[in-house]
Structure 1
Amino acid sequence: MTQLQPLSSSALEGLREEFDQRPANRLAMNAVTSSGIEPVAHNYDRSRLLQHRFSVSVDNGKVTTQAHSGRCWLFSSLNVARFVARRALNIDTESTSNPAGDFEFSQNYAMYCDKLERVNYFLQDTAALVRAGEPVDSQLMQFLLSDVMGDGGQWVMAMNLYKKYGAVPKQYYPETASSQNTGEMNYQLRSLLHQAVAHMAEDPSSIDQIVKDYTAAGHRILTIHLGTPPTSFDWEWTDKDGNFHRDGEITPQEFWQKYVKAGLEDYVCLVDDPRREHPKGKKIGIEHLGNVAGGDPTEYLNVDAQFMKDCARQLLSEQGLPVWFGADCHPMMDRKEGQWATDLFEYGRVYDVDFDLDKEERVRFGQSAMNHAMAFVGVDVADDGKTTNRWKVENSWGSAIADKGYFVMSDDWFDEYVYEVAVPKSMLPEEYRKAFDEPAIMLPAWDPMGALA
């Protein structure tokens, strides 16, 4: 093994002298130690020119808030679904017919269904591995154990839930303390499942009973934290024209089928995997990634960012529909003002460092991966009808920031940090539709393309 070289006192003294020789370093130190890096590196000219104006905009009402949870994929998919439902119900975005105010779906209900399904999925998956002789200290098993019971997910995983469980308006299954701050609940569930795997490894002959017992325990923990979800509810509302409607008793599945479905279940996911060894136009899958056993696998078609932009623009401008997407939301973000642009912060000028990794290198070397899901609800299109300038984004971080919770994204930021969009399969060219019928290139569970929003 190569001997690591310590940082010597002479080398350290040289670094100090080099720092002091450049007056700009002390100026930067004075500013950053007083104010923090973001105000100092903030690109004023870029920020003031990144306006919240769009030639195409979809009205989706008040933004939602996921609070202290990682449920953005559920919030954003239900934000798309509520647009469809409001149109079917003829409800205004500022409807007063809903006792809870603006019409919104229960994200708590969706999370309850997801967590319960993931308990089963994880137990079934790890049971199969233990039976096959997978060592508990293998890279795969250790990854699955470390990753279990997070809040993140994917579009396909959300559709698996809505197909099986439907959806309910928020007033019938409101938020709880644990749905808004999931850390303690997730810790208890994770501890439970770790214990289950330990017992499987100790006594493989009892695996079936262990899976049964721990599924029941997971159900108890979830219900204690989130409440008993409704199996039916009485649905009535007044539309924007003042007409009262009464559906009577309806199940969550019936509600989804009647007011929401509208083709959303037939959407497919496009991703931009920039790594050269993964060809464009081919389907990608991630091993051991899913939530509903027997549901649709989490698979994507690998395309370039421009094709994703073209699809999103067409959905917004031609069909008037919001577009679900996943991105690495942290780089070059002004959270307070609600802005993303590739040059919004000039960190390199402050530090005198050239940050030169491209998108492929950022993925390959662990610098970037999808970590947040939102919805496009607008776009500014040039006079040619095709060139996109900037994007309007519906976030789920509440209305106290940005433009009442709505963000603006520069077009070049889309290229660099957006990784996934969900679009109708019918809008793809024939060669891409056929690609979904081919076997997926399977990537290991820990691959960056398996990152969850």
Structure 2
Amino acid sequence: MSVIESKVTKKFHDAFLNNKKQTVIQRSVIKNGISASAENQEAQINNVPVFSIDLATGKVSNQKQSGRCWMFAALNTFRHKMIDSFQLKDFELSQNYTFFWDKYEKSNYFYENIIATANQSLDSRKVAFLLATPQQDGGQWDMIVSIFQKYGVVPKTAMPESSNSSNSRDLNTYLNKKLRKDASILRELIASGKTMMEIQAVKEKMLEEIYRFLATSLGTPPTTFDFEYRDEQKNYHLDQGLTPQSFYDKYVGVDLNEYISVINAPTADKPYNKTYTVEMLGNVVGGKEVKYLNVDMDQFKKLAVAQLEQGESIWFGCDVGQSSTRTTGIMSLDAYEMNDLFDIDFTTTKAERLDYGESLMTHAMVLTGVDVVEGKSTKWKVENSWGEKVGNQGFFVMSDAWMDEYTYQIVIRKELLSQEMQKVWEETPTVLAPWDPMGALA
């Protein structure tokens, strides 16, 4: 290893001070901060929120201080359908209800993975991976499908938000404390030669404590409820004695088996037109397998446009923190001119960012519109779940070039795929390592 010599640092110091342009920029950055100094107004001018296809969605929702974007986005796609079908106004499905069952199932999923890896040492990469974050708020499309298919959905009136669903930090802290403690107990039981029946009996007591912890923190999930509302014409409706499953069947009615996750991951280890899954990624034991179809970006965008043209919004996952403005709601590669500000080239390819840990899917939202000019998409309308004070009343504009670079996943109806792609979808997926970037949770 070579040390930094003082004469080299002095050379850098003198060169900086002798660059008057750089010292002017320095004063701006020190005073205003990096992002504010680099923000480019041209990005806002070039991404006016007007779209040739613009679906009606109602007001945006607000996940507040929680990482539930993936379930908000999924529930919002259902909400759009219900608002249209039943003429509802300002309606939401219960995110707290879905949150409860996801936490409950993730706990069991963690226990089962701990049992399955009990023969490995604590410093093995898989065990260390499990213990680093036993569970978290984030998730994947197929994981939310598993919750919906097992537990149904309920309107927000049947299980409203709680303090701990709106701000989940304490809940996650103490739930992970318990899960790590339980992991040590389960591993010790297996090491001592206990039978699987004895281990499962202990695990059942652990799950009872998990249920009690979640019910105390989030409320008790309803088993039956009444759905009472007035439609846009002020007509009164009352539907009594519903269950979460019967409510889903009657009011949502979406066959989730007809939807698949399409990704764009242009890395050498993931050839296009192949399917992939991720080891140890899931929430419901025995639930839907997380599965992706990897396609090139042109095909990716054509599928998204096709679904929007048919009047259906799209769950999608992206790296929202990259080159996007929270205040104006612009997602554009020129939102900030960092290269100009620092006279440093920060540019990397999408594949390089995935391979070297610079980017992965961090957030899920909903595509609700697109501007198509001369047969090609130019910008996209995005419904976020950060409330109406962010972006344009909660909506963002995403440039087509930004989608190319930082969007990783869309959920599309299978029938929109070509016959060839539908055949590919039926193939057995390649299994990726648990820490692969495509295993990221939104």
Q: Give me the TM-score of the superposition, normalised by structure 2.
A: 0.96
1:9 equivalent to 2:9? Answer: no
Matched, 1:430 2:422: no
Alignment of 1:202 onto 2:209: no
Counterpart position of 1:337: 328
Query: Is the 8 Å Cα contact of residues 269 and 421 (structure 1) preserved in structure 2?
Result: yes
**Deviation of residue 335 (structure 1)?**
0.6
Of 393, 405, 411, 2:394 maps to 405
CA distance in 1, matches of 2:393, 2:186: 50
Given that 1:324 and 1:375 are in contact with CA atoms closer than 8 Å, whether structure 2 keeps it comes out as: yes
What letter matches 1:282 in structure 2?
K
2:223 and 2:81 map into 1 onto residues whose CA distance is 22
Q: Over residues 276-303 of structure 1, what are the superposed CA-to-partner deviations in whole Å (9 max), with x where a residue is unaligned?
A: 2311110011000001111111110001
Listed one character per residue, the Cα deviations across residues 362-382 of structure 1 (whole Å, up to 9, x for unaligned) are: 110100000000001111111
Q: Does structure 2 conserve the Cα–Cα contact (< 8 Å) formed by 1:163 and 1:265?
A: no
Percent identity over the alignment? 37
What's 1:117 paired with?
105
> How far apart are residue 144 of structure 1 and its match?
1.2
Q: Distance in 2 between matches of 1:175 and 1:195?
A: 29
- Say which SS state the counterpart of residue 117 (structure 2) adopts: helix
Q: C-alpha root-mean-square deviation of aligned residues, in Å?
A: 1.3
1:287 aligned partner: 279
| 3-state DSSP of counterpart to 1:40 | helix
1:69 pairs with 2:55: no
Matched to 1:256, the amino acid is: Y
Is residue 147 of structure 2 the alignment partner of residue 161 of structure 1? yes
Q: Partners in 1 of 2:355 and 2:246 — Cα distance?
A: 44
Q: Runs of 5+ in structure 2 lacking a partner?
A: none
Q: Deviations over 1:7-53 (max 9, x none)?
A: 23222212212222322221111000000111211112222221111
Contact 2:110-2:135 at 8 Å conserved across structures: no
| 8 Å contact from structure 2 (residues 43, 330) kept in 1 | no
Query: Are 2:403 and 1:414 aligned?
Result: yes
The one of 252, 260, 270 aligned to 1:278: 270
Question: Partner of 1:174 in structure 2?
Answer: 160
Structure 1 stretches of at least 4 aligned residues deviating more than 6 Å after TM superposition:
none
* Secondary structure, aligned partner of 1:203: helix
Pair 1:28 & 2:32 matched: no
Aligned to 1:106: 94
What is the CA–CA distance in structure 2 between the aligned matches of 1:144 and 1:89, rounded to whole Å? 43
Measure the CA separation in 1 of the matches of 2:284 and 2:319.
25
Q: Which runs of 5+ in 1 are unaligned?
A: 96-101
Amino acid at match of 2:134: V
Structure 1 equivalent of residue 254 of structure 2: 262
Q: Secondary structure at the match of 1:236?
A: strand
Aligned residue type for 1:326: G
Pair 1:381-2:369 in alignment: no
Q: Which residue of 2 aligns with 1:56?
A: 53
C-alpha deviations, 1:317-350, integer Å up to 9, x for none?
Answer: 2x11111100000111111000011111110111
Tell me if 1:441 matches 2:430: yes
Q: Distance in 2 between matches of 1:145 and 1:437?
A: 33
Question: Post-superposition shift, 1:406?
Answer: 0.5
What is the CA deviation profile of residues 94-152 of structure 1, one whole-angstrom value per residue up to 9, with x for unaligned ones? x2xxxxxx11011010100100010111101211211xx12121011111111222110
Superposition pairs for residues 233-382 of structure 1, below 5 Å? Answer: 233-317=225-309, 319-382=310-373
Q: Does 1:395 align with 2:384?
A: yes
- Say if 2:185 is the partner of 1:193: no
Give the aligned residue type for 1:444.
A
Count, aligned residues: 436
CA distance, structure 2, for counterparts of residue 277 and residue 235 of structure 1: 49
Q: CA deviation at 1:88?
A: 2.8
User: What amino acid maps onto 1:324 in structure 2?
Assistant: W
1:134 matches 2:120: yes
* Structure 2 counterpart of 1:150, from 107, 111, 136: 136
Contact map agreement 1:124 1:211 (CA 8 A) in 2 = no
1:220 corresponds, among 187, 212, 219, to 212
